[in-house]
Amino acid sequence: MKVGMAVYGKGGIGKSTVAANVAAALAESGMEVLLVGCDPKADTTLPLLGKRPKTVLDAFREGNVDRNTVVHEGDLGVLCVESGGPEPGVGCAGRGVLKALQTLDELGVLDEVDVVIYDVLGDVVCGGFAMPLRHGYADVVFVVTSPEPMALYAANNICKGVANHAKTGGAKLGGLINNARAPEIDPYTVREFASEVGVDVVYELPFLPEVRKAEAARKTVIAAFPDSEAADVFRELADLMLRAEGTVPQPLDDESLFELLERSAVPEHQEAGV
């Protein structure tokens, strides 16, 4: 049975890092994996391909759309697709996501694999970027976040999008991934947010220096440092994401979210000296 996963979150929070490394970990385990980058920068698949590939919208502009032009095989056999987008400042990037998924449907690529991972730009702000949430694409959504206010604000918006689409058979929320992008990070704010929204923190991703080194070499951690603890982290995360069942979140209204963020500025465990 095919499993569809969508990875959302604030820009720069680490979505593409999670998506590419989880794709590599699942492929390493013997699964057929398709990674779909839903971002006009077309950089999701860079660690697997070593370069930016021809995108779906590139192929349309050139009038040459077929499986060989839009599907590219990367490390460990991961199939890679980038939706692409218009020139900066011109057109709608969300429309590119819509066109890419329709094309993959028509080519039958989505039915060839065991797992499809969608790496989606930013918040759910329009129908194009919300497309992976709809019935028939992703089964579960994972939100990469951190304790930073804007990251949690984005996470709450994404929860709103998931809750809306779940009413009509769309994807459910598999949980939050708390990404520690610095050596020391306080996980309590994300845990409290998850509790109030009624979802799980699937994983607390530690600060991993190997990520930056691998990405500088245009590789995943799985490929660059296969015997490292960092690679094992992504293997464990991949297994947890694969087994997540999903739930319908209960997003906070703005006032409740701001109150949570204000309370978390000085968490109770810090006041108590914990």
Active site residue 10: yes
Active site residue 213: no
Q: Which of 41, 54, 160, 213 is catalytic?
A: 41
Q: Which of 10, 99, 172, 219 is catalytic?
A: 10
d(CA 157, CA 9): 9
Q: Which of 99, 123, 139, 219 is catalytic?
A: 123
Listed in sequence order, the DSSP H helices in 54-187 are: 56-62, 67-70, 93-107, 149-166
Active site residue 219: no
163-179 residues labelled b (16+ CB within 10 A) or e (exposed): bebbeeebbbbbbbbbb
Active site residue 172: no
* Residue 157: φ, ψ to 5°: -65, -40
* Ordered DSSP codes for 195-243: HHHT--EEEEEPP-HHHHHHHHTT--HHHHSTTSHHHHHHHHHHHHHHH
d(CA 10, CA 154): 6
* Burial class, 262, CB count within 10 angstroms (exposed 0-12 / middle 13-18 / buried 19+): exposed
Residue numbers annotated as active site:
10, 15, 41, 123
